[in-house]
Amino acid sequence: TYLQCLRIQPFILSICDSNTDRFKYILHTLVRPTEVDMLRFHLPAYLNFVYYIITPVRKLFFCTARFLKKLIIK
């Protein structure tokens, strides 16, 4: 599913106590840099904050493109 593509686990969302906890989990999962981002974009240490911008944009773009491709093919 789209959530799993973004690495958001539906089970964890279901056990969160409040919407605030769900929001925090989703935000943390979307923004947390991955090894893929760090290997693909070699940035100096003083620009590490840029990973927190690149990661959600890359994840959303990749998963949306993948989701739309599946819709078009079916």
CA distance 2 to 63: 7
pLDDT reported for residue 74: 65
The pTM of the full predicted model, rounded to 2 decimals, is 0.71
pLDDT in tens, the chain (74 residues): 777 888 888 899 899 999 999 999 999 999 998 888 888 888 899 999 999 999 999 889 988 998 888 888 76
